[in-house]
Amino acid sequence: MHPGKVPHNASLRSPWFAPPAARAWRCAPAPAEVRRFHTGLPGYAPTPLTELPPTAAELGLGRVFVKDESRRLGLPAFKALGASWAVHRVLAERDEEGPVTLVTATDGNHGRAVARTARLLGQRARVLVPRGVHPRAVAAIADEGAEVTEVPGSYDDAVRLAAEAASAPGTVLVQDTAWPGYERIPGWIVEGYSTLSAEIDEQLAAAGIDGPDLVCVPAGVGSLAQSVVTHYRSRRAGRPPALVTVEPEAAACVLASLARGEPVSLSTGETTMAGLNCGTPSSLAWPFLRDGLDAAVAVSDAAGARAAADLAALGVRSGPCGAAALAGLRALLTGENAAGHRAALGLGPASVAVLLSTEGPDANPHAEP
Ligand SMILES: Cc1ncc(COP(=O)(O)O)c(C=O)c1O
């Protein structure tokens, strides 16, 4: 779980860029069955893809859209897409009789999604929460009927303890990050996220656009980014978009790993972007991130807060993690060496960008005034 531990490193403020050939990398798609499964869930509806003309003007792009995950299957973040599909697969493959306890560590959203899924399916959930998760986010998990344990350590510490807790009989670990020997269930979670990208394609097509030129993804352990890479690097149609991850400066493990060319673990600091406060990339995600991403950038909490306020002014409700996508693209396209970044990403004045706003403000009350 802990490849080469490195201390937090201020040089991570510089973005990382792939060689241009990275956009030609290809992989197999997620199963089409996932979309059909989600469509059949009670309360399923595609989340909005909202156009932001003032942001396009600010960033010098043709059109900018935000995929707004502030209301997804009754929860204020995208995570239920992964939890619902993974738990469905776990239960389908289980031979034992009787209820199961679904165990997970979380920095907020995934644990709440697992707890909600367990409650809806008449199962139990046990959720381990590291320090730094807002008390209201912890209470929201308990309100789903889960047994919540607060861990006086980091997200990585909570993941380790959850894995230990899940060795008890009648328990299954449903973790949204992978490590050697534990990759099957995280793989289902990543498959579950594919519905989000499939919706984007349909929504852009309805707007007469055959695909984005750039997609900007907030990253914690990189599982969501893995799913976005899988989607856009497996499509036959359309030109391959540039794919960019955004992390908090206090926990930029994907950026650090890409910069080193191998997965590294960071000692994470404090950030309002609680859902992104992860120190180790998922082992399953790593090859997809290494080979399929175009760039990675880290942003400060202040830049994230400014992006959240700007999105709110445009009518989009983003929590700190959700707004990170705008903060990251803004850093790349309006900060130092903006012209070089624009050229490296293949962007021009007609380009179409999609920002993934992965949570609403109610998911993560950290940034509330
Ligand atoms: C709101 C939000 N956005 C983005 C992410 C990042 O997802 P991943 O950890 O798969 O990179 C998370 C993860 O918890 C999250 O809660």
Ligand 1 contact via 275 beta carbon (within 6 Å)? yes
Please determine, for residue 342, whether its predicted confidence score (pLDDT) is greater than 50: yes
pLDDT per residue over 99-117, tens digit each? 999 999 999 999 999 999 9
Same domain, 278 and 337: yes
Give the residue, by CA position, lying nearest to ligand 1 atom 16. 275
Could you tell me the CATH number of the domain that includes residue 144? Answer: 3.40.50.1100
- Known catalytic residue: 79? yes
Ligand 1 contact via 359 beta carbon (within 6 Å)? yes
Q: Which two tokens stand for residue 238?
A: 């359309």
Catalytic residue from among 5, 67, 68, 79? 79
Same domain, 64 and 146: no
Give the residue, by CA position, lying nearest to ligand 1 atom 4. 218
Count of the separate structural domains present in the chain: 2
- Known catalytic residue: 156? no
Which atom of ligand 1 lies closest to the CA of 222? 11
Same domain, 54 and 199: yes
Same domain, 223 and 307: yes
Ligand 1 contact via 223 beta carbon (within 6 Å)? yes
Q: Distance between CA atoms of 282 and 173, rounded to whole angstroms?
A: 15
pLDDT per residue over 29-66, tens digit each? 999 999 999 999 999 999 999 999 999 999 999 999 99
- Expressed as residue numbers, the domain containing 303 is 5-77+192-367
- Confidence (pLDDT) at 367: 59
Lowest mean pLDDT among 10-14, 44-48, 269-273: 10-14
Residue among 66, 277, 358 to mutate when testing ligand 1 (max atoms within 8 A of CB)? 358
- Helix, strand and coil content of the chain, in percent to the nearest 5, comes to 45, 15, 40
Selection from 351, 317, 306 nearest residue 50 by Cα? 317
Give the residue, by CA position, lying nearest to ligand 1 atom 10. 223
Same domain, 72 and 86: no
- Confidence (pLDDT) at 10: 42
Q: Which residues are bridge partners to 171 per DSSP? A: 101
Cα(first)–Cα(last) distance of the chain, in Å? 36
Please determine, for residue 336, whether its predicted confidence score (pLDDT) is greater than 50: yes
Tell me which residue has tokens 């055959």. 210
